Copies of this chain bind each other. A is one copy, B any other.
Amino acid sequence: MDEALALAKKSMETGDVPIGAVVVRDGVIIGRGFNQKEHTGLASEHAEMIALKEAAATLGHSHLEDCTLYVTLEPCLMCAGAMVNFRLGKVVIGARNGRFGCCGTSVNVLTTSNHEPDVVFTEDQRCSQLLSSFFKQLRTMRKG
């Protein structure tokens, strides 16, 4: 999760909401991603999507059953669906997303699918605090 947090901070360089993700297999990081939605202008460029694609490209296939995705914020509907399509084994989530979290907090869509990754919430204060301070700063800037 340390590496996912470091990646999350890179999102902020382009004004994106700080979210980072890594895919780990046998203790080795094989995919990295950070939220680039604003930077690219594409709503698909979430941290998880980028990390999953990189992991699959590294392995040469999309069967990530023996991989774990570490992500600083609970995945949305699209990224939960990507986890299913990439046959991800496990996801470890730093902070819950009360509005859009699709792995159990707002809703759990994984139970509706033909593949259900294991889900672990770590309630990592560093992940939620990073987001809180980003949005606080954003509000201050907008007021100013």
Q: Which residues of A contact B (CB under 8 A)?
A: 37, 41-44, 46, 49, 52-53, 56-57, 60-62, 76-82, 84-87, 99-100, 102, 106-107, 109, 112-114
In the assembled complex, how far is the CB of residue A113 from the closest CB belonging to chain B, in whole angstroms?
6
Main secondary structure of the interface of A (DSSP, over half): loop
Please indicate which of the listed interface residues A37, A43, A44, A86 has the most CB atoms of chain B within 10 Å of its own CB.
A43
Contact B80 A56, beta carbon cutoff 8 Å: no
Q: Which of the residues B44, B53, B60, B61 comes within 8 Å of A85, measured between beta carbons?
A: B44
Contact B85 A114, beta carbon cutoff 8 Å: no
8 A-B pairs (CB sep. < 8 Å): A42-B57, A43-B82, A43-B85, A43-B86, A44-B52, A46-B85, A76-B84, A78-B80
Q: Which of the residues B37, B43, B78 comes within 8 Å of A78, measured between beta carbons?
A: B78
